């Protein structure tokens, strides 16, 4: 059978009178109406059975919005936190999942001690946004859906850019010295998040054929995080404390839905920063899932690359899957 899944970064989904991060940043009622109307229009355009959301602050408002559009099932694993000095100001964001099929189980992802040892990470580690791991009943099948939003590089810390010809070893040779110099704590966080997710997915794959990952990686195309989330050989990397040359062959356990799709447009950025486009939003699927087509909804970014706060600063991506 065929189903459509999508990922949607909502860009500050904060119902008034609440603010995001600082008191003055909030919507008035008219702005909120415009934003939620646009989100509904995009969801109708996407026409998905399952949608993963990022930048969710007002979770109950999103649950109500998606219910109006026929998403009878909704789940999350965390609530956005508020400022201790002002409970009308959110200081963190979360992810959520809406489905037209029954969600039978919701979990998050545990922290793997082996991953922390790779990085010699001594402090308590937490995901920047707790990921969702949901079991969805689709007729006679079960789909395990992860919704993720990896750590943002908000301080615009320097990070290397790679292309499709760079090997994992070449990436490690640059990344490991860089993160050990403290150049990018955000990248270190994303790498640890990716390894924890990968460990959980690989374990889940032992008993489940159909798995998808929906999310905003906050990382460039051809990044090491993508390698970790798709190539099981990355678990052969022993340490990130010092570079050791390693020849890692490709052994994929998850696949970029764009690459698997039978029908797809030319790939374009899903987000822009200072006019530079990046592909940040992805749908990954396990090997037994066929991808019929891949679509990207980005008309709002063609008029304004930075995105409107009343819309989104990300494109929405949709993959039609064949499960059998």
pTM of structure = 0.97
Three-class HEC string of 137-198 = EECCEEEEEEEEECCCCCCCCCCCCCCCCCCHHHHHHHHHHHHHCCCCHHHHHHHHHHHHHH
pLDDT at 83 (0 to 100): 96
Q: Does 113 score more than 80 pLDDT?
A: yes
Structure tokens at 104: 């039978």
For the chain, give every domain's residue range: 2-322
| pLDDT tens readout for residues 81-112 | 999 999 999 999 999 999 999 999 999 999 99
Contact 295, 23 (CB under 8 A): no
| pLDDT tens readout for residues 10-29 | 999 999 999 999 999 999 99
| pLDDT tens readout for residues 260-316 | 999 999 999 999 988 889 999 999 999 999 999 999 999 999 888 888 999 999 999
CA dihedral of 195, 199, 202, 203, whole degrees rounded to 10: -170
Model confidence at 232, in pLDDT bands (50, 70, 90)?
Answer: very high
Query: Does 2-322 carry CATH code 3.60.10.10?
Result: yes
Q: Is 285 helix (H, G, I), strand (E, B) or coil?
A: strand
| pLDDT tens readout for residues 157-181 | 788 999 999 999 999 999 999 999 9
């Amino acid at each position: 059978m065929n189903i459509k899944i999508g990922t949607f970064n909502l860009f500050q989904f904060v119902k008034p009178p609440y603010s995001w991060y600082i008191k003055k940043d909030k919507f008035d009622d008219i702005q909120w109406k415009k934003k939620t109307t646009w989100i509904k229009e995009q969801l109708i355009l996407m026409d998905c059975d399952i949608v993963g959301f990022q930048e969710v602050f007002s979770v109950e408002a999103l649950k109500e919005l998606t219910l109006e559009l026929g998403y009878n099932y909704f789940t999350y694993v965390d609530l956005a936190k508020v400022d201790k000095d002002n409970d009308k100001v959110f200081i963190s964001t979360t992810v959520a999942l809406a489905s037209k099929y029954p969600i039978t189980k919701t979990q998050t992802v545990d922290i793997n001690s082996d991953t922390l040892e790779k990085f010699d990470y001594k402090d308590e580690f937490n995901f920047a946004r707790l990921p969702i791991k949901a079991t969805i009943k689709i007729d006679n099948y079960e789909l395990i859906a992860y919704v993720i939003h990896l750590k943002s590089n908000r301080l615009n810390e320097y990070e290397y850019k790679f292309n499709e010809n760079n090997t994992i070893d070449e990436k490690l040779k640059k990344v490991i010295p860089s993160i050990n110099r403290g150049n990018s704590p955000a990248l270190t966080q994303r790498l640890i998040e990716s390894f924890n997710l990968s460990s959980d997915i690989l374990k889940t794959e032992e008993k489940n054929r159909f798995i998808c990952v929906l999310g905003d990686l906050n990382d460039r195309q051809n990044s090491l995080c993508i390698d970790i989330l798709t190539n099981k050989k990355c678990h052969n990397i022993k340490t990130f404390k010092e570079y050791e040359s390693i020849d890692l062959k490709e052994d994929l356990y998850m696949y970029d839905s764009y690459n698997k799709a039978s029908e797809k447009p030319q790939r374009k950025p899903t987000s822009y920063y200072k006019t530079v486009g990046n592909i940040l939003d992805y749908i990954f699927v396990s090997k037994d899932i066929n991808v019929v087509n891949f679509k990207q909804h980005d008309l709002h970014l063609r008029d304004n690359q930075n995105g409107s706060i009343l819309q989104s600063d990300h494109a929405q991506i949709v993959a039609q899957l064949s499960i059998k």
